[in-house]
Chain A
């Protein structure tokens, strides 16, 4: 796409074409510059697993994985995801086979209302990818970007511990 020259304010606003891999599928999409990744997912692509809790990067309910790293989709512009590989909660399972983190959340009853759960699980998968959480305290600290107002933290921690311990 061409760069916008100085004095651009007089020009009409235009959408931009982006290509990305979304849950394993190549997608070409036209997005307006001010569309957040979260709004693209929820409003245009019907992927409503990622939640809009605070919309300010404070609650973590919108957490998705970009190139394997966890990010807040609410503070990400869709137009800046050109070329990215994105995974949302909808893309974690392998067909009918749940991701080990999803299975562990079910086993440990790591939720109550479930609203924060997609973000918690994506964040926990990102945490596992980082390989920096080696004990309970580190898991707690490195999950601090995901709030659970039901207070299911102890079960969330147990689910994550089980998956991390199961890693070779």
Chain B
């Protein structure tokens, strides 16, 4: 780890005014400190934001929730209002990391996790995300864990978060604040596809800080399911994960949400596929068609072709389990 300066501001504007291109905000530190130990990230200045007043979960006037950026992953997953109204989010968070890491990791930091592509993590090899223009060894190397959707010639990395897949499906909104003021970013727009600039994971500017994540009111709580498929039963990143949520009137689908993790540079949500589910009757055939539509543009690399079949089956299973979730004892 390189030497760095340390500050602990107590207000959001103080924090964003301390920031620079060479600084990083730190809260849980579970990913940032790991990257710093590997010399992947070498900030000159860490701005400790844990003293900012962003630790609460509040109800919004429109019936949703506003989650402070510093709420830990564990506190969020086990919060009574999240368990009752957004069980999909609880389930996704608890599917990720370990209890220790969930106690440390923050809501805002979870959104800013960097890929676990092993070439990105190995400073001795090229990587367009780490060193723009240096090349992508994953494209022709070991790419079993890499993207099947939305990748580019420059980058085939995937976003590692489980929580973000649920937040995408729940149409969350990211509240950010910078020196120029505050803005709100729709979750679907927050993370980027790699394109020609894979070094940028999201739309945040250097001086911008995530202050909260907003969940809109919905009627999806009785029929949701997060399915995570990985190489071992616990404490591993997803090969493929599926966040599925339905609002049903009898057997008929009123609202549908479907997002995938482990398959792209960002949580993968396809609104056209969701729209195609609305009005349909719950059936394996309906869900099978949705899976085919969502994956029609999937492109395998040499070692990850299995992910397409895995995702197809995962989508059908997650939607089927979501459809009956509220009917379980």
Contacts and interface: CB of A to CB of B under 8 A. Distances in A.
A142 B74 CA distance: 12
Interface residues of A, number: 44
A63 interface: yes
A14 B101 CA distance: 28
Contacts of B97: 145
Contacts of B44: 8-9
B7 A34 contact: no
Contacts of A41: none
A4 B6 contact: yes
Contact of A9 (B22, B50, B78, B100): B22
Contacts of B271: none
A71 interface: yes
A146 B101 CA distance: 11
Interface residues of B, number: 36
Given A56-B34, A57-B30, A70 B45 contact: no
Nearest to B3: A13
B5 A11 contact: yes
A132 interface: yes
B5 A142 contact: no
A49 B100 CA distance: 18
Interface stretch (A22-30, A72-80, A105-113, A160-168): A72-80
A52 to B, nearest CB: 12
Nearest to B103: A69
A50 to B, nearest CB: 12
A80 B48 contact: yes
A4 B14 contact: no
A69 B98 CA distance: 13
Closest 8 CB pairs of A and B: A145-B98, A33-B6, A144-B234, A144-B235, A3-B7, A4-B5, A4-B7, A8-B5
16 contacts: A3-B8, A6-B20, A34-B1, A36-B33, A57-B98, A57-B100, A57-B101, A70-B99, A75-B30, A76-B104, A77-B46, A123-B99, A130-B74, A130-B99, A142-B99, A146-B98
